[in-house]
Chain A
Amino acid sequence: MTSARANPEMLSALDRPGSYIGKTVPRPNLDRLMQGRGLYVSDIELPRMAHVVFLRSPHAHAKINGIEASTAKQMPGVIAVVSGRELSTVITPWVGVLSHLKGLKSAPQSAIAVDRVCWQGEAVAAVVASSRAQAEDAAELVSIEYEELDAVTDMRTALDPATAVIHASLGDNLAFERNHDAGAVDQAFAESDEVVEADFVFGRHTGVTLEPRAVVADWNAAEARLTIYQGTQAPHMVQNIAALHLGLKESQVRVVCKDVGGSFGIKVHIYADEMATYALSKLLRRPVKFVADRVESFNTDIHARDHRCKGKIGVNRDGTITAFEIDDLTGIGPYSMYPRTSAIEANQVVNLVGGPYATRNYRARARVVFQNKNVMCQYRAVGHPIACSVTEGLVDMAAMKIGMDPIEIRRRNLIADNAYPCASPSGLRFEQLSHHAALAKLTGMMDYDALRVEQAALRTRNIHRGIGIASFIEVTNPSAAFYGVGGAKISSQDGVAVRLDAQGSVICQTSITEQGQGSESLTAQIVGSVLGVSMDRVRVILGDTDNTPYGGGTWASRGAGIGGEAALQATKVLRKNILDVAAAILQAAPGELDIVNNAVVNAADSAPRIELGELARIVYFRPDTLPPGIQAELMAARHFVPREYPFAFTNGIQASWLEVDIDTGFVKLLKHWVVEDCGTIINPQLVDEQIRGGVVQGLGAALFEKCVYDERGQLTNANMADYLVPMSGEMPDIDVGHVVSPTMESELGAKGAGEAGTAGAAAAVTNAVNDALRPFGTIITEIPLTPQVVLTALGRI
């Protein structure tokens, strides 16, 4: 289904001849990465650059009674050994709260721990040396005296009166609580034919970007300027925060972001060790480089999920879902992360549960507690996999209870495609979703009925396959409602500047960033299409606060929808400016001219009039030949932020087909399908690959990924051999289909697609496993679905 635009005239900028919109074109600059000529932060070297290695706490909670570094300081190459107290002379602590998350509290956090460590892996001292190896050697000679304190590890008992309080000044271990009550929940449950309840458990996992976090900070005392090279998704946010805590003006901080080896939300935060690296550079007046090793990544990159959620659903025998209720609990480590806070995930769970469905009755409680484990925060699809797994798990259980097919119960309860605009019981506003069109497309793609027949046939041979379905909604294109209203200096708008160079090529500076999604490509596609130039003439510059407009960056599925619209609007202005000057040169009216294929042409018959290169030559070098009073402006800038809707919701549906080996507990994924609706598709291949990559991260969560802590707060699998991520041999082929409902908030009509895959994959897999296990009368509501979990559910171990 492709919905028609309300105002077809508005499409003209995109539908021009030779448009790249909706076309699969290869991303520019892939050769650089394929030939090993990328520039990741870990590759950067500067003159006089020193390397920092952090000593990290082996304890989950301990007092620091002393740091003895005199021997280490004598080691070859060592420049300094710096404690948290020493570093606090150059950088101030922070508190990760936002005012719109009412009641959220956290304690001051320092770049390097002062007096006390609160998780295993928190930095206690920094060793700076000429080489990393020298810093590592010296670090072994630093001795730190700890006095262990009680560690709070189990989120379920974190609020018990008998449990130690991690930050005495906060009074208890509760970081945040949200309650929501809509409709008449108790009455709805009382009147339902059936009520089903279940406890859902989600493993703690982490992003495992293939390039670990890395930063090079370069304080130039003579310029009084700090340049930060960092693989961040939000350069202007980093600029703001670094300046704030180092006592600098933002104009004194430049953030440069070249190639980034994976981000997924891991690199949208500001970590204490990154702050420490900025501060060390200022303290030592030279460039300092920090590259996390893999063990540090596991111990300090934000973790995510780790929720325990009680869920309840009411259903009538005709399939009508009457109410949802949840009680969610999550443990976020000892501090709320900075500056985005660690309450967002639980908040999203409350927002999103039941989101695809029409029922008006919904009650939720979410509690976020502190614990002595690594910090948790926003990772790809924040909250969505939890909300989706709970919702879709409950819907399947309700269907099972009343003996209805999972597709049928969804058909009867998904919000109708003609019901928009409307709002969810949690207050989310939907502009236009397409659940039913997506469902219909999905069942067609997977040949649902045939698959059920195949499943039944295989059952008779003791082969247990399952089909799992999961509908979902996804938050994209966030406005200021996400962070700005809470006081965070995180821009929700993005800007693009575009100019014609002296040979008729185009230089485009955008505030969105690239981590492999294709930001550069989609920007070039839009600019090329709107202007009428070929993509190879468009060079896109991003990731540099000195050289791009101010803006948010690439996170929360916002790059294409927000940055893309800014590119479109800026290019329209440039196009008009070019036609104005062309008209003056050609003594024509601007309306009679057009730009096609790098040249100004007659709009009527496409006859070429003047090449853009020739026009640029005249403007830049022979302006004396232009008519009097004509000043050409071959550069334009525009910004965009959604104002009407706080978020552009997208929707979709996924299905999993898999086989469970009931003897070994192994789950073999056979096939996965996704239908999603991200509005206007700029580059189908890039959207599909975002979906596939996102699905596989969700499949990792479903089957393998889990940070395993012991009861003393020790992370026991902090390496890639023990923390399992999906490998190619275990992953299925993934078919992706689309429904297209453009948002009317922008001329481009694009919504986000980066997180849809991750949102629903685990729910689809869990539902499929339960479908496969149906004859055994057992239901699993815990991920990852390891063989142990499966065999335990089957009563085999």
Chain B
Amino acid sequence: MTAAVAISLSVNGERVEANVLPRLNLADFLREHLKLTGTHVGCEHGVCGACTVRVNGDIVRSCLMLAVQTHNATVETIEGLSDSGEIADLQSAFRERNALQCGFCTPGMLMAAHDLLKQSPSLDREQIREHLSGNYCRCTGYQAIVDAIETTARARSGRLP
């Protein structure tokens, strides 16, 4: 078996040094080594989006990325974005609109939605639906999620609901 590799990275603003096997994916590294269990694993093959995290500012599917690839990188998870308050408005919109049921898709959904809102702040419903198609939700039927994101988009761009 290949030996463990030393990596050094920033996770939610904290310095992390670890020895990981080359085959370990980022999702498992975050969950099992760092106990950041807010990153969820739904499919393990890049389809469902539950494992979405931010690496160097871009969202990635952490089940498709190896932990060793994050050497020297900046990784942010739902725990980090929550503690910093960066997505507080989006979370509040999700709460008001009941845009989550079981909540298993939610961390990935918030990650993806926030990224989308940053890139294009003035989206319509169709565009939101289109862009979120890589994030599966089996509970809500999506409408409440789309509503919550639309509300946040309006608020962020200073438009009234």
B and A form one assembly: yes
Identify the A interface with B (CB < 8 A): 26-27, 30-31, 33-40, 42-43, 133, 207-212, 259-264, 293-294, 515-518, 685-686, 689, 692-697, 719-721, 725-731, 733-734, 757
Q: Mark B15-28, 1 if CB is under 8 A from A, else 0.
A: 00000010110000
Contact A516 B103 (CB under 8 A): yes
A26-B98 contact, Cβ under 8 Å, with A209-B138, A728-B132, A731-B143? yes
**Across the interface, which residues of A come within 8 angstroms of B36, CB to CB?**
36
**Across the interface, which residues of B come within 8 angstroms of A731, CB to CB?**
129, 141-143
| Cα–Cα distance between A293 and B21 once the two chains are bound (Å) | 20
Contact A261 B82 (CB under 8 A): no
A671 CB to closest chain B CB (Å) equals: 12
Contact B144 A689 (CB under 8 A): yes
Contact B43 A693 (CB under 8 A): no
Within 8 A of A (CB), among B92-109: 94-98, 100-107
Q: What is the chain B residue whose CB lies nearest that of A689?
A: B98
| Cα–Cα distance between A169 and B138 once the two chains are bound (Å) | 40
Contact A720 B43 (CB under 8 A): yes
Contact A262 B102 (CB under 8 A): yes
Contact A34 B103 (CB under 8 A): yes
| Cα–Cα distance between A572 and B37 once the two chains are bound (Å) | 40
A729-B79 contact, Cβ under 8 Å, with A33-B103, A210-B42, A210-B102? no
A544 CB to closest chain B CB (Å) equals: 18
**Across the interface, which residues of B come within 8 angstroms of A686, CB to CB?**
98
Q: Which of A43, A294, A695, A734 contacts B43 (CB 8 A)?
A: A294
Q: Does B39 contact A (CB under 8 A)?
A: yes
**Across the interface, which residues of B come within 8 angstroms of A40, CB to CB?**
37, 40, 104
**Chief secondary structure at chain A's binding surface:** loop
A211 CB to closest chain B CB (Å) equals: 5
A516-B100 contact, Cβ under 8 Å, with A43-B37, A692-B140? yes
Stretch at the interface among B45-53, B54-62, B153-161: B45-53
Contact B91 A31 (CB under 8 A): yes
Contact B95 A34 (CB under 8 A): yes
**Across the interface, which residues of B come within 8 angstroms of A211, CB to CB?**
40, 42, 102, 104
Q: Does B139 contact A (CB under 8 A)?
A: yes
A693-B98 contact, Cβ under 8 Å, with A208-B138, A211-B42, A731-B129? no
B3 CB to closest chain A CB (Å) equals: 13
Contact A693 B140 (CB under 8 A): yes
Q: Please indicate which of the listed interface residues B23, B40, B102, B105 has the most CB atoms of chain A within 10 Å of its own CB.
A: B102
**Across the interface, which residues of B come within 8 angstroms of A733, CB to CB?**
125, 143
| Cα–Cα distance between A610 and B24 once the two chains are bound (Å) | 60
A729-B95 contact, Cβ under 8 Å, with A209-B138, A734-B141? no
Contact A27 B102 (CB under 8 A): no
| Cα–Cα distance between A211 and B40 once the two chains are bound (Å) | 8
Contact B103 A728 (CB under 8 A): no
Q: What is the chain B residue whose CB lies nearest that of A29?
A: B103
B135 CB to closest chain A CB (Å) equals: 7
Q: Does B41 contact A (CB under 8 A)?
A: yes
**Across the interface, which residues of A come within 8 angstroms of B142, CB to CB?**
696, 726, 728, 731
**Chief secondary structure at chain B's binding surface:** loop
Contact B95 A30 (CB under 8 A): yes
A523 CB to closest chain B CB (Å) equals: 16
| Cα–Cα distance between A34 and B101 once the two chains are bound (Å) | 10
Q: Which of A262, A264, A294, A729 contacts B104 (CB 8 A)?
A: A262
**Across the interface, which residues of B come within 8 angstroms of A207, CB to CB?**
138
Q: Which of A34, A515, A696 contacts B141 (CB 8 A)?
A: A696
Contact B141 A210 (CB under 8 A): no
A38-B103 contact, Cβ under 8 Å, with A262-B138, A294-B43, A728-B132? yes
**Across the interface, which residues of B come within 8 angstroms of A30, CB to CB?**
94-95, 98, 100, 103
A33-B100 contact, Cβ under 8 Å, with A731-B141, A731-B142? yes
| Cα–Cα distance between A262 and B100 once the two chains are bound (Å) | 11
Contact A689 B140 (CB under 8 A): yes
Q: Does B137 contact A (CB under 8 A)?
A: yes
The 6 A-B pairs of least Cβ separation, nearest first, read: A36-B38, A33-B103, A516-B101, A261-B104, A696-B141, A516-B102
Contact B40 A37 (CB under 8 A): no
Q: Does B68 contact A (CB under 8 A)?
A: no
**Across the interface, which residues of A come within 8 angstroms of B110, CB to CB?**
34
Q: Mark B57-82, 1 if CB is under 8 A from A, else 0.
A: 00000000000000000000111001
Contact A37 B136 (CB under 8 A): no
| Cα–Cα distance between A373 and B39 once the two chains are bound (Å) | 33
Q: Does B44 contact A (CB under 8 A)?
A: yes
Contact B139 A262 (CB under 8 A): yes
Q: What is the chain B residue whose CB lies nearest that of A731?
A: B142
**Across the interface, which residues of A come within 8 angstroms of B98, CB to CB?**
26-27, 30, 518, 685-686, 689
A294-B45 contact, Cβ under 8 Å, with A689-B144, A728-B132? yes
Contact B77 A210 (CB under 8 A): no
Q: Mark B117-147, 1 if CB is under 8 A from A, else 0.
A: 0000000010011101111111111111110
Contact A293 B95 (CB under 8 A): no
